[in-house]
Amino acid sequence: MNKNYEVVIGLEVHVQLNTKSKIFCSCPTSFGDEPNTNTCPVCLGLPGALPVMNKEAVKKAVMFGKAVNAKINKISTFERKNYFYPDLPKGYQISQFVVPIVENGEIILDSGKKIGITRAHLEEDAGKNIHEGDVSKVDLNRAGTPLLEIVSEPDMRSSDEAIEYLKKLHAIVRYLGISDANMQEGSFRCDANVSVRPKGQKEFGTRVEIKNLNSFRFIKQAIEYEIERHIEAYEYDEYEDEVVQETRLFDTKSGETKSMRGKEESADYRYFPEPDLLPLEVPDEFFDIEIPELPDEKKKRYMEEFKLKEYDAGVLTAEPALAKFFEEMIELGVEPAAANRWLAIELLGRLNKAGISIENSPVPAKKLALIAIREKEAVISGAGGKKVLDLLMEEDIEVDEAIEKLGLKQVSDESAIEKMVDEVLSANEDKVAEYKAGKEKLFGFFVGQVMKASRGKANPQIVNKILKEKLK
């Protein structure tokens, strides 16, 4: 990144709220159903059909507002945003323009920097256009799904800050349980507004909007491509011609952004009050809703209560399912450091390699906890535990069964180990003499010999203990 320029990024995120029914009708919001089966006169926009506000959507918006320390407006309003598109049968979208339900929130990055959230408002999603060869089809199952559009201040100064903000937002909505935030299915979508200005210049540069980014990696690539494009235009004195206010799309294959169309000014949408809905009044009891522990609080608590390093606590709290798995292991009596090692390093490593999510892990918390416990009890070694885990990834068997099957049970019987120690020492009398004369590093040699004699199964702590006694 060229040091003579400053990047300004603002993000708009559309989060699909996971209510059972749509925002203004009782059609189901389920994903992947037969096209156009989850529709009714309201979400098809038939004449005379009247919208009715979904209370659950309001509740979820309020929960979000609380989580980002925002102001929740007791009264907010709905407006019609008019535009024509085949997947929008009414010819307008019902959205909140004048007064949103949530205003003035913030997300705090790990550096301590605050990223402002200007507003979060409720609106309905459009349907979907499906292009097959030279035919285009319209599926209106998604039309009317509740969305929370979360608009940030232009506070981010690098693609890294943008990604950190998005990941925090993503984790928050998942912890709140207000959205499954599945980026592939489009229930967490991001538009990025990017501009670049020479360092020291007060006015913002020309802003372009990159639309419909659906993975963190693509968002980062798209923003970085755009930054480079703007800087190059400045450097070659072509800024006025090359960088115009517009909407661009990111081509995931070429890694480039391409012009889509000129950005409509908000006046072009001819917003006007929605005549079929009263202003939205948030019920008093919603202001007292308790929200669950959020990822950043949880991370802090893990560092304090479990003495975990910041990085480890961050990994474990990134996803609610992962934190839940970890807490289950702790409840089953596993020490935090061991739980972290078995979960974050051993199990996650294997799951990532196999492309399996923690929710679908073939090894549940109970089994992983038992591996850690058997290691602590010295029934198996750490290396043995990894072999058990490998087998459990493949087969649905119990931990103790796997230990038996793999022949990993350590010998902890002191008299059996003592016998092996005696044999090793009498076979190496010259080395024992050297050790006693002060060559203490030979201790490792004796341990190695005993472990070899036991074919790796002797409990190393007991071997150490007995050797120390015998060599005194």
Stretch that binds Zn ion, among 23-31, 86-94, 285-293, 356-364 (CB under 5 A): 23-31
State the number of binding residues for Zn ion (CB under 5 A): 5
Phi, psi of 213 (to 5 degrees): -95, 130
Token duo for residue 136: 């285009």
- Taking the complex as a whole, the smallest distance from the CB of residue 18 to Zn ion amounts, in Å, to 17
CB 216 within 8 A of CB 166: yes
Candidates 33-41, 116-124, 252-260, 368-376; binding stretch for Zn ion (CB under 5 A): 33-41
Q: Least CB distance from residue 25 to Zn ion, whole Å? A: 3
DSSP-derived 3-state class of residue 402: helix
Instruction: Measure CA 408 to chain center.
Output: 37
122-161 binders of Zn ion (CB under 5 A)? none
Minimum CB–partner distance for residue 32 and Zn ion (Å): 17
Please give the structure tokens belonging to residue 30: 């389920």
**Interaxial angle between packed helices 310-317 and 320-331, expressed in degrees from 0 to 180 and rounded to the nearest 10:** 110
Place of tokens 């024509």: 84
The one-character DSSP state at 264 is P
Does residue 25 belong to the site contacting Zn ion (CB under 5 A)? yes
Cβ closest to Zn ion, residue 23 vs residue 222? 23
**Helix or strand holding residue 196 (H, E):** strand 188-198
Residue 123 Cβ vs Zn ion, minimum distance, rounded to whole Å? 15
If the CB atoms of residues 28 and 186 are measured against Zn ion, the closer one turns out to be 28
Distance in angstroms (rounded) separating the CA atoms of residues 17 and 174: 11
Only one of the segments 21-29, 91-99, 125-133, 229-237 lies at the binding site for Zn ion (rule: CB under 5 A); that segment is 21-29
Rg, C-alpha atoms of the chain = 30
C-alpha–C-alpha distance, residues 23 and 16, integer Å: 11
Element (H, E) at 313: helix 310-317
Sort strands 246-251 and 208-213 into parallel, antiparallel or unpaired. parallel
The SS3 call for residue 241 is: helix
Report 411-440 residues binding Zn ion (CB under 5 A).
none
How near is the Cβ of 137 to Zn ion at its closest, in Å? 19
Of 27 and 62, which CB lies nearer to Zn ion in the complex structure? 27
Distance separating alpha carbons of residues 461 and 453, to the nearest angstrom: 16
* 185-206 b/e (C-beta count within 10 Å ≥ 16 → b): ebbbbbbbbbbbbeeeeeeebb
Q: 161-180: which residues touch Zn ion (CB under 5 A)?
A: none
Q: CB of 79: closest distance to Zn ion in angstroms?
A: 20
In the complex with Zn ion, which residue's Cβ is closer, 11 or 122?
122
Name the β-bridge partners of 24. Answer: none
Nearest to 231 by CA among 239, 223, 219: 239
Site map for Zn ion, 34-73, x if CB under 5 A?
A: ------x-xx------------------------------
The nearer residue to Zn ion, 39 or 159, going by C-beta atoms, is 39
Nearer to Zn ion, 43 or 208 (CB): 43
Binding Zn ion by CB under 5 A: which of 7, 27, 196, 462? Answer: 27
Dist CA 129 CA 103 (whole Å): 32
| Shortest Å distance, C-beta 22 to Zn ion | 5
Give the x-and-dash track for 323-342 against Zn ion (CB under 5 A): --------------------
CB of 51 to Zn ion, least distance (A): 9
Q: Kindly tell me which of 24 and 188 has the beta carbon lying closer to Zn ion.
A: 24
Residue 40 or residue 318: which is nearer to Zn ion going by CB?
40
Whichever of 87 and 390 has its CB closer to Zn ion, that residue is: 87
314-353 burial, b at 16+ Cβ within 10 Å, e below that, comes to bbbbbbbebbebbbbbbeeebebebbbbbbbebbbebbee
- Minimum CB distance to Zn ion, residue 140 (Å): 9
Kindly tell me which of 120 and 143 has the beta carbon lying closer to Zn ion: 143
To the nearest whole angstrom, how small is the minimum distance from the Cβ of residue 80 to Zn ion?
18
Which residues are near Zn ion by CB under 5 A?
A: 25, 27, 40, 42-43
